[in-house]
Structure 1
Amino acid sequence: MAALPDLDHLLDAAHVVVLPMRVKFRGVLERELLLLDGPAGWAEFGPFVEYDDEESSRWLAAAIEAGWEGFPEPLRQWIPVNATVPAVPASDVAAVLASFDSVHTVKIKVAERGQELADDLARVAAVRAALPDAAIRIDANGGWTVPEAVDALRALAPYVLEYAEQPVPSIDGLAQVRRDVAGLGILIAADESVRKATDPLAVARAGAADLIIVKAAPLGGVRRALEIVAQAGLPAVVSSALDSSVGIRAGIALAAALPQLPYACGLGTVALMAGDVVEESLVALDGGITVRDVAADPHLLVRYAAPAERTVWWRERLARCHRVLAAG
């Protein structure tokens, strides 16, 4: 990690914004973020509001890497990305897909609280009908029990799934699901069991997943994420955390620096936003994003500036997370 800047330096570089969403995603219609104008470039600090300071401090470490150290040299200049379909009604799938350019891979949210398996089946069926040749992956965010996950994957298997992301919360549960659906041809991917775990390598040691999902910010930065992928010895998919284009730039840097990139990445979520902080957003063209730097636009920072009370809240959170990092 880059040397920890003084707190006053970070606060002087901070801009808090609220970006509107086109559709509800992860239960929110607005995404709050704190942006930092660092000497090496713009950076984003955007842990979700319910995260505690210990977990959120890793997001600050990632922002400091981006803004004060910069990114590793890329090994590739173009990153394939998937479209993302939130847990919308099947009738809304076409409209969501229309916000993405030239879709080759789709990630579909399933196991949404308050919904049933029938809703998931209808959503996946609508995507498959619209895109018969696309690779389809699903993401349950740990929303199923083991029996529910096995039943759901058996029901969804006819739609030809590339993989199922975090079908159940625990590592033991992932391992059990992986064993129980081994004959379906559906790979099991671990997300929360990597990025929210005290030991991000436990999944790999347990043989609980076929691949891992890595996100730069929750893992403490691009370089730390690269270390985890190398030590895990599993294929990796780089994904976003509902970032602005500034945050997506870190994900692009991670994907560009991986020795191997066998799957499309989940870095196309800016298309789900109705606002951004850069003039030319990092969105996919022909199914991928070209590696390039971005800078927040002063006019957009003003347009999407957070209300005073939310700005205070984020600045206080930044200070608390800075203390966590300073304490080692």
Structure 2
Amino acid sequence: MRTLIDFDAAPAFAIPAIDARGGPTVCEGMLLEGPQGWGEFSPPADGGDTEAARWLTAAAEPGTVGWPDPLRGRVPIAVPVPAVGTDRAHAMAASSGCRAADVTVIGTADSLAGDIARVAAVRDAIGTAGALRCIPYRRWDVDTAVRAIEALDEAAGGLEFVEHPCRTIGELAAVHHRVDVLVAVDASAADLAEVTPGALADAADLAVLRCGPLGGVRR
């Protein structure tokens, strides 16, 4: 067992993947072995040094200090479904074995019909008891978000939440007040760093915590 992480000996990987719009991409990174086990360092290719440093901290954590004791014995995971056609979306969700799905949506006037069909296909694949969320990647203005969320919620037979539909905290708050679907924020978004707890509570119901961009489980 190693006593320190040997970065020079860390195995690198490049795995074919699918991006949020359904196109081909590559997931690249390194596996870091420490005295407590292994960690994965795979920051986004378009991120800066500050973001990469947080990912490196998160990757070193499980192999050095280890993770805190778990609070739950079992945690359900979600299958990510990119902006692909309905048949492919259904197949991806059905073959995953997951009972939850994070579905990428575009939500523009010329793409909403495809988003609705994709959401309906995923709902059919995971069943009525499954948890279905929509991920628009902060693309929408307020009015677009309200229209799209209402239509997608109907197509899904109920969404668990929609994640970060708009870019600014003010826009998120406006959407939050106009829709019945729960609104989630990506807690690692850089522009939330200076937002007060009160403003955040006014803008969203949930916070999505991602280990890598936040800098580890303890953060």
TM-score relative to the length of structure 2: 0.86
Aligned positions of 1:1-328 closer than 5 A: 10-21=6-17, 23-25=18-20, 27-101=23-97, 103-111=98-106, 116-130=111-125, 131-158=127-154, 159=156, 160-181=158-179, 184=180, 186-191=181-186, 194-197=187-190, 199-200=192-193, 202=195, 204-206=197-199, 207-224=202-219
Equivalents in 2 of 1:10, 1:143: separation in Å?
A: 40
Task: Quote how far apart the aligned CAs of 1:220 are.
Answer: 0.8
Map Cα deviations across residues 137-189 of structure 1 (whole Å, 9 max, x no partner). 111111211111111012123231111111111111111110121xx3x1000
On the 8 A contact 1:137/1:161 being kept in 2, the answer is yes
Equivalents in 1 of 2:130, 2:71: separation in Å?
A: 26
Change (3 A) 1:142 1:203: farther
Task: Quote how far apart the aligned CAs of 1:18 are.
Answer: 0.5
**Root mean square deviation of aligned Cα:** 2.3
Change (3 A) 1:213 1:115: farther
Task: Quote how far apart the aligned CAs of 1:11 are.
Answer: 2.3
Structure 2 gaps of 5+ residues are none
Residue aligned with 1:31, SS: strand
On the 8 A contact 1:171/1:203 being kept in 2, the answer is no
On the 8 A contact 2:107/2:148 being kept in 1, the answer is no
Residue aligned with 1:167, SS: coil
Residue aligned with 1:169, SS: coil
Residue aligned with 1:77, SS: coil
Structure with the higher helix share, 1 or 2: 1
Equivalents in 2 of 1:143, 1:203: separation in Å?
A: 23
- Which of 1 and 2 has higher RCO (CA within 8 Å, sep 6+)? 1
Q: How many residue pairs get matched?
A: 210
Q: Could you list the runs of 4 or more consecutive aligned residues of structure 1 that deviate by over 6 angstroms after TM superposition?
A: 112-115
Task: Quote how far apart the aligned CAs of 1:205 are.
Answer: 2.8
- Stretch deviating more after TM superposition (10-19 or 30-39): 10-19
